[in-house]
Amino acid sequence: MTDQPIRRALLSVSDKTGLVDLGRFLAGHGVEILSTGGSAKLLAEQGVPVREVADYTGFPEMMDGRVKTLHPKVHGGLLGLRDKHADAMKQHDIGAIDLLVVNLYPFEETVAKGAGFDECIENIDIGGPAMIRSAAKNHKYVTVVVDAGDYKAVIDDMTAHGGATSEATRRRLAAKAYARTASYDSAISGWFAGQLGDTFPERLTIAGTLQQTLRYGENPHQQAAFYVTGDTRPGVASARQLQGKELSYNNLNDTDAAFEAVAEFDPAESPAVVIVKHANPCGVAIAGSMAEAYRRALACDPVSAFGGIIALNNTLDGETAAEIAKIFTEVIIAPDATDQAREIIAGKKNLRLLLTGGLPDPAAPGMTVKSVAGGYLLQNRDNGRVFRDGLKVVTKRAPTEQELTDLLFAFRVCKHVKSNTIVYAKDGATVGVGAGQMSRVDSARIAARKAQDVAEAEGLAEPRTRGSVVASDAFFPFADGLLAAAEAGATAVIQPGGSMRDQEVIDAADAAGLAMVLTGMRHFRH
């Protein structure tokens, strides 16, 4: 392939950003400009010579604009091979269209603003994708542009090549064009499936827009990138980064885990802080102030918190910022931050501060996707929550009011810790977290051991697990895990139940004087 001169262009855009400047450049290079509707009107008003597509095709725009570019003179001009189809093009008076500039009806934006069914349907573009696909297929001769951000690249390319575009530019833009139509169709099919209540459609389409090419993936030898879907859920994808170096793959993953966990705690009820390390909470607390919540979360496992991610459920204030600044932290994510807090954090130039403007709703529906060899696993987001009226007391002793409050807190934390999970909590703070072990008894012992280490380091008379409650993300298959928790000093237990040996576990709890409640809901997290 060689450079291809641009002699005729068709410009038909919904987003008219940069259109006039592009039109003026093309006209200045002797390019005949075809256009439609509002695009043609704007160009004409700005003194850019333009010809209406309806005039060019001899067929009027009709059906409220639904039919305007679906015509052989348009698609023939885009699809015709300049050598092989020259006779047919001449016979039917089809002129070559060398440049197509189209961006699509704002379907995604229409859905995002909560428009009704009929309005969403009317914002499904038909002619635009058809032209884009025609032009992209024939990129040997045709340059196709679907993003106003590429106008400058086309202008520069034409300037460098005497009014023509290069093969490299046309191929790159064709690939981008097909990606755009694919993502557009994906958005439509996903919306339609939602309208029909079809949770798992026969064909799954996943689309995203590149937000950032990352330095590397989980490890330096892995390449990685961050794509966003346009979902309005507050979090790492929508957050504004105020300072700090570029986020890494692991930073993004851990920050998402931290923010989703802290959202479990309503800021109207109490400030909450979650500290995450390697996707697992290593400290969670609620308190009367954000600074106190941070101090109590840090106390759970200050060793693991070093280099961690900190999530807050409300505004980062100066006192809390000063406390956080005392140790090395990778990322802070919060709905907002005071001027004083921003000034303090600014003194830590590598510390990333992300502000989201709000919290995600932990009860909202959604989907999670995981890749496996040859496919994807798709499931509903774990938006299950347990409340007091859903608990079943199964031991002779019922939990006290304080135990009950801490049990619910601990079980809410459990939901965000990798399985097998054991969480000890006391007075609204985690005091031991055991994550990701192959056996539940190991998780119970590791969490207790960590609490013992903290006690020894701080010179405490006993570990904070003494007098705590314990939560398990799934049932105890044997009594050994529960007994390990009792040895650590737990006085009450919350777990889903459902084991063949539930009675054996209940009997062990009674023998140890523990109170135990069942939730009927588990929170595996792999």
Catalytic residues: 137, 278
Burial of 385 (0-12, 13-18, 19+ CB in 10 A): middle
Contact 98, 7 (CB under 8 A): yes
Residue found under tokens 């499931």: 379
Distance CA 393, CA 465 (A): 22
Q: Provide the CA 271 distance to its chain's centre, in angstroms.
A: 24
- Amino acid identity of residue 421, one-letter, is T
Distance CA 366, CA 344 (A): 36
Distance CA 217, CA 226 (A): 10
CA distances from 186 to 83, 194, 208, 457 (A): 35, 12, 10, 54
- In whole angstroms, how large is the CA radius of gyration of the chain? 30
| Residues in CB range of 325: below 8 A, 6 or more apart | 344, 345, 347, 348, 351
- Amino acid identity of residue 183, one-letter, is S
Nearest-CA neighbor of 57 among 85, 92, 83?
A: 92
Distance CA 148, CA 219 (A): 35
Helix (H) or strand (E) holding 361: none
Query: Strand, helix or coil at 40?
Result: helix
Residue found under tokens 């989703």: 260
Contact 283, 298 (CB under 8 A): yes
| Residues in CB range of 85: below 8 A, 6 or more apart | none
Write out the two tokens for 182: 């694919």
Neighbours of 276 (CB within 10 A): 31
- For the chain, the residue count is 526
Distance CA 78, CA 410 (A): 62
> How far separated are the first and last CA of the chain, in Å rounded?
50
Cis preceding-peptide flag for 253 (omega within 30 of 0): no
Contact 431, 297 (CB under 8 A): no
Distance CA 33, CA 50 (A): 5
